[in-house]
Structure 1
């Protein structure tokens, strides 16, 4: 009757309060159901044994009372027959059964009290199991929704980071475009400066060519050519 030692704890347990306090109701409800079903199986087994004990005690009480009634009637008949010694013997036997009857009744009372407790535990456990089974799907659906929302929150948070990264990339892209425009402008300026320089060289070189021609003509005249 080990389960009887847990009677008070089981009867005081509040399934709803337990679920409200636990951090992960989905896992807790499955574990609690397993524990309750194990307790219920033990209670059923113990209850069957205690009810058997109670019935046995009932039979002992009934049989003892029948023996007392039998010896009482026999003693009375012995006295009516004028056999006092036999009546005395029968009364002594009756008193032995009366002494045993007190013990049998105590056992009967105890076994019936224990049987009542076991029935109370049985009904409590059955009710708790039904309550949990009724709430299990709803609780698991709520937990699943919560986890889904957490996942979405993470995605949204990650989207903010992606948005921030994209904005940074756009800033870098604009900066690169500006650098390219500056380099292009500088190249155009360099090209313009080079053209002007080439033009100046052209006219400068023409002067040098005239000098060469003059010297060439003088050399030809001297040689009589």
Structure 2
């Protein structure tokens, strides 16, 4: 059995998806499996021609042997019909040898046919696995991109939240300062203002005011 055919059971039994589901680093494992599949595919293509050639040769030899058996049987029948039993027996003896040979050739052909079928099945399986791997690779890249985008959005949202909190704090401080400045002055401030104003009057007005105060006391 040729090289790649020795891996037939392993290739056909492999379950890439199940192995990837258990992998700690699926992306790396996908790359490793893809390299292995490409290597296997190269070997399959390189050996397929030889295997198919063996199958065609085994079939041709088998068919030739079958034809020889039919021919000897026909000769034996004609010999019997002509009363030549001696030659009829010789034809049948040669036919028996060919029948034994045919059995061996049939085994060889069955093996060659099975090898050719195995090569075809391996090629189909490898193509299928490569397709699945490529699909998983694209899916994984999509998930990674989505995760990075989500992380970026989360980071941006955190920055925006911090900016909004800072703006709100500045606004609250501004409102508080405005309210503080808008509060009415207390009575002491008004009294001081009146006293300051009274000190700025002229003597005549001050004399008039003092007279009014004296009259009010009487």
SS at match of 1:23: coil
Instruction: Quote the Cα distance in structure 1 between the aligned partners of 2:13 and 2:89.
Output: 56
- Which residue in 2 is equivalent to 1:97? 98
How far did residue 146 of structure 1 move? 4.8
- Which residue in 2 is equivalent to 1:80? 81
How far did residue 24 of structure 1 move? 2.2
Instruction: Quote the Cα distance in structure 2 between the aligned partners of 1:87 and 1:79.
Output: 6
Cα displacement string for residues 154-175 of structure 1 (whole angstroms, at most 9, x for unaligned residues): x99xx9xxxxxxxxxxxxxxxx
- Which residue in 1 is equivalent to 2:30? 29
Change (3 A) 1:137 1:124: same
- Which residue in 1 is equivalent to 2:11? 10
Unaligned runs of 5+ in 2: 160-218
- Which residue in 2 is equivalent to 1:179? none
Taking structure 2 as the reference length, the TM-score comes to 0.62
- Which residue in 1 is equivalent to 2:41? 40
Moved more, 50-59 or 137-146: 137-146
Moved more, 98-107 or 22-31: 22-31
Instruction: Quote the Cα distance in structure 2 between the aligned partners of 1:150 and 1:24.
Output: 20
Instruction: Quote the Cα distance in structure 1 between the aligned partners of 2:32 and 2:150.
Output: 25
How far did residue 127 of structure 1 move? 0.5
RMSD, aligned α-carbons: 2.6
- Which residue in 1 is equivalent to 2:176? none
Instruction: Quote the Cα distance in structure 2 between the aligned partners of 1:96 and 1:7.
Output: 36
1:57 aligns with 2:58: yes
Taking structure 1 as the reference length, the TM-score comes to 0.60
User: Which structure has the larger Rg?
Assistant: 1
Q: How does 1:142-221 map to 2 (within 5 A)?
A: 142-143=143-144, 146=147
- Which residue in 2 is equivalent to 1:209? none
Q: Is the 8 A contact 1:4 1:118 kept in 2?
A: yes
- Which residue in 1 is equivalent to 2:126? 125
- Which residue in 1 is equivalent to 2:141? 140
- Which residue in 2 is equivalent to 1:222? none
Instruction: Quote the Cα distance in structure 1 between the aligned partners of 2:27 and 2:153.
Output: 20
Cα displacement string for residues 160-213 of structure 1 (whole angstroms, at most 9, x for unaligned residues): xxxxxxxxxxxxxxxxxxxxxxxxxxxxxxxxxxxxxxxxxxxxxxxxxxxxxx
Q: Is the 8 A contact 1:26 1:143 kept in 2?
A: no
Q: Is the 8 A contact 1:68 1:94 kept in 2?
A: yes
SS at match of 1:33: helix
